[in-house]
Amino acid sequence: MKRFLITMVALLLSIVAGYYLYYVEGYYINFDNHATVSTPFYIENDTIYHKNGEDVTPFIIKGVEVDGAYGPKRGTDFTVDEQTWLRWFNMIQEMGANTIRVSTILDDQFYNAFYQYNKDRENPLYLLQGMRAATDEWKTNKVKENLPFYQTLRKDGRELVDIIHGRKVMLVNDHQGTGIYRHDISQWVIGFLIGDHWNQDMVAYINQTLNTEEDFIGDYVTTSQEATAFEVMMAKTIEYIVSYESEKYDSQHLVSVNSSFIMDPFQYKEEYALQFGKYNTFLIDHINPTKKMKSGLFASYAYEDQTDPILTMIEDEEIAQYPNASSYLDLIQQTHDVPVVISSFGYPSASYLNHTGQQESEIIDDLKSFNTNGFNGAIIRSWQDVWDRRVIETSYAVDLQQVSKWHDPLTWTQHFGLLGFKPYRDDVLMKVDGKSDDWQDVPVNYQDGATKVTMTRDHAYLYFWIEDPSITVEKPFYLGLDLHPELGSQTPDTVATTFDREVEFLIEVSPEEGALVYVQDRYQSVRQNFLELVTGENPYVSYPEQSSNTFEVVKYLQKEKKVLTKEEIEQETKVYHYTFAEMNPLRMLNGKNVKEADVAIEDGRLEIRLPYQLLHVYDPLKFTIHDDYYQHYGVVPLKIDAFYVSLVRDENRPSQSVEIPIQQLESLNRVKEYVKPSYEKVKAYWRGED
């Protein structure tokens, strides 16, 4: 009996060990080196083909990128459940898309939902699976293969192969999904997209600092003599992924290395390369499939709107090779012998305060341009708004540990979705429409005769409801706001009046133009953070007084679009690529922008919402604001429990300041999805109705 128990325990341990090695670590034994390799998608000449049984058809990607984020929940929280994924997949396909892209490994709920959605469907959705090269994993090393990001790419590639074939268990995974991946979805996977946004310094370090090596010759890919060190490294990554899938699963999928136009294959004239920061090139055509690679490689580019005459900036000898190129996009297409896909492009919607275009028109214009220039499809960024995206223009001003918990109308990358999220205030959705329906449960902060001031807030805006006989649609109306206890002025130069408190912000409400927010020049946040970047001046050498009367429209950092010629550069002692721009006015309610109005005014009544960053709020949940920049040499949070608002009934008679107490916001638990106008426009275009 004892021997039997020992034998059974040993057998059980062997089974557990085998399961662990196969499903967790990915070990396998290749018993058949001559099996036929399946390729649901393959490339022939410059076309992607889809093979479904005996049917073979050209495949043009019509895609949208999805993220694991949902309102205040970050993508790495993995809170999107299977039912939500299924509902989104249906909406995406109804829009006319045939492809979804993910940029990293998601949790098992996504892949389970993808399988459930497709398994009985005659026209399924297809997946372009990305793997992200995290820039924080870049550390220098004299041996390319020892660079952490390279090791991560190989690891992710191996795991993703197992995931799409339904043979992976991931119990722990930093910043990526985990779970039991039990469904084989490989027949609906187009291929793998290596990398996302490459660190240009890292690429330059690999190409220019590390020792070059001989051409790479693998079983599945080789490199040409012109290949850079980075291209050789990518060839080795492709070889590793393709060989693993071929030998373990007798299967292959398309592979691409995601690039961008800052890494396009061309050499720019020195004066332009300097301004663009263009010092790397990448050409997927320097990596060549062997006969053993049955699927193929394609080129992919993350696209940004090109407003400059790029063709004139590229070295003449390179342009001469393509004399018939009619545009930059046409040149990109002609440069490649493989299919070219736009892996990501998009624009912010009207929920971004400073966006002056129309998301729907810009997306359609680009789709038409990509089609005209012969691209093999494009992927819209993105399906939903992502609240924790950040940019240099605003990330300095907020608590980066909290950014996912509230929606910022001033960070443009948070507004790329075709689907948006509106935060609930308890059980109420606030809407600036001049009606008091959503104010019924809000206590009045101040009332004196016919004057009434009420404030509330959600996880995106501060809202004011103000009633006063002096408010009229015939002339401008002013509000003064005092948030900081030690800064501000009682006599701002923007309006001829004297306040009973020192105010830092002045809001000018114009019935025709909207509302402009002015700030005391000492409290202009971009000055202390970006002045040296814009003008070369150190902001701390000289700066405004604490009680300065000078007020300016709140400004933001904007990249300078003008590209200087060689002659202009020679005339300049320094070249700066950024400038300060004034914030757009808050939008007035009218028949065209009811959904995104910030201000509604009628005789005797004003409703207005203010984005937190316009008032220099560092963390809206705790309600910390920026302290004095010139005492603390940068942004330091200051907790406040109340602020003050004053009404200027006319330019010579402001009201007494009204104290507005501030309560801490709890974490947001409920948002409302809404479909943006761009969804219907893309739907009409992809269905041939536009």
Same domain as 588, residue 525: yes
Q: 231 and 280 in contact (C-beta within 8 Å)? A: no
Strand partners, 602: 605
Q: 683 and 380 in contact (C-beta within 8 Å)? A: no
Same domain as 139, residue 78: yes
% of the chain at pLDDT higher than 70: 89
Pick from 491, 506, 498, 483: nearest CA to 616: 483
pLDDT digits (tens, 9 = 90+) for 466-482: 999 888 888 888 999 99
Same domain as 454, residue 391: no
Q: Which of the two residues, 628 and 278, has the higher pLDDT score?
A: 628
Same domain as 435, residue 409: no
Two structure tokens written together for 515: 């509302």
Residue 400 maps to a domain: yes
Judged against a pLDDT cut of 80, whether residue 29 lies above it is answered with no
Strand partners, 289: 221
Give residue 506's pLDDT.
Answer: 96
Residue 478 maps to a domain: yes
Same domain as 452, residue 340: no
Same domain as 225, residue 121: yes
Which residues fall within 8 angstroms of residue 138, CB to CB, at 6 or more apart?
Answer: 147, 148, 149, 199, 201, 202
Residue 583 maps to a domain: yes
**Residues of the domain holding 114:** 21-420+673-686
Pick from 328, 274, 339: nearest CA to 304: 328
Estimate the crossing angle of helix 82-94 against helix 108-118, to 10 degrees: 50
Judged against a pLDDT cut of 60, whether residue 202 lies above it is answered with yes
Angstrom CA distances, 269 to 273, 274, 318, 570, stand at 6, 9, 11, 15
pLDDT band with cut points at 50, 70 and 90 for residue 19: very low
If one counts every other C-beta atom within 10 angstroms of the C-beta of residue 333, the result is 20
Q: Are strands 446-448 and 551-553 parallel, antiparallel or unpaired?
A: unpaired
Judged against a pLDDT cut of 70, whether residue 652 lies above it is answered with no
pLDDT band with cut points at 50, 70 and 90 for residue 627: very high
pLDDT digits (tens, 9 = 90+) for 258-300: 999 899 999 999 888 888 888 899 999 999 999 999 999 999 9
Same domain as 507, residue 403: no
Provide the domain count of the chain.
2
Give residue 242's pLDDT.
Answer: 97
Q: Which of the two residues, 496 and 237, has the higher pLDDT score?
A: 237
Residue 269 maps to a domain: yes
Two structure tokens written together for 161: 């192969």
Judged against a pLDDT cut of 80, whether residue 561 lies above it is answered with no
pLDDT band with cut points at 50, 70 and 90 for residue 567: confident
Among 265-279, 324-338, 396-410, 490-504, the minimum mean pLDDT is found in 265-279
Greatest CA separation found in the chain?
101
Q: Which amino acid is at 667?
A: S
The predicted model gives 404-424 an average pLDDT of 96
Judged against a pLDDT cut of 70, whether residue 22 lies above it is answered with no
pLDDT band with cut points at 50, 70 and 90 for residue 2: low
pLDDT digits (tens, 9 = 90+) for 293-311: 999 999 999 998 776 688 8
Q: Classify residue 358 by burial, with Cβ atoms within 10 Å: 0-12, 13-18, 19+.
A: middle
Q: Cis peptide before 14, with omega less than 30 degrees from 0?
A: no
pTM for the whole structure: 0.91
Same domain as 457, residue 597: yes
Same domain as 407, residue 493: no
Pick from 188, 161, 174: nearest CA to 28: 161
pLDDT band with cut points at 50, 70 and 90 for residue 21: low
What rounded mean pLDDT belongs to the chain?
A: 89
Residue 14 maps to a domain: no
Judged against a pLDDT cut of 60, whether residue 31 lies above it is answered with no
The predicted model gives 148-162 an average pLDDT of 92
Q: Give percent helix, percent strand, percent coil of the chain, each to the nearest 5.
A: 30, 25, 45
Q: Which amino acid is at 307?
A: T
d(C-alpha 282, C-alpha 623), whole Å: 46
The predicted model gives 514-520 an average pLDDT of 96
Same domain as 292, residue 430: no
Give residue 16's pLDDT.
Answer: 47
Residue 8 maps to a domain: no
d(C-alpha 638, C-alpha 346), whole Å: 36
Query: What letter does residue 70 receive in the DSSP assignment?
Result: B
d(C-alpha 223, C-alpha 544), whole Å: 59
Same domain as 680, residue 648: no
Judged against a pLDDT cut of 90, whether residue 653 lies above it is answered with no
Q: 138 and 202 in contact (C-beta within 8 Å)? A: yes
Residue spans of alpha helices (H) in 623-676: 629-632
Looking up residue 88, the CATH number of its domain turns out to be 3.20.20.80
Q: 613 and 408 in contact (C-beta within 8 Å)? A: yes
Residue 80 maps to a domain: yes
Two structure tokens written together for 139: 């550390």
3-state secondary structure 552-600: EECEEEEECCCCCCHHHHHHCCCCCCEEEEECCCECECCCCCHHHCCEE
Same domain as 158, residue 48: yes
Two structure tokens written together for 349: 């919607």
Give residue 6's pLDDT.
Answer: 62
Q: Cα 359 vs. chain centroid, distance in angstroms?
A: 15
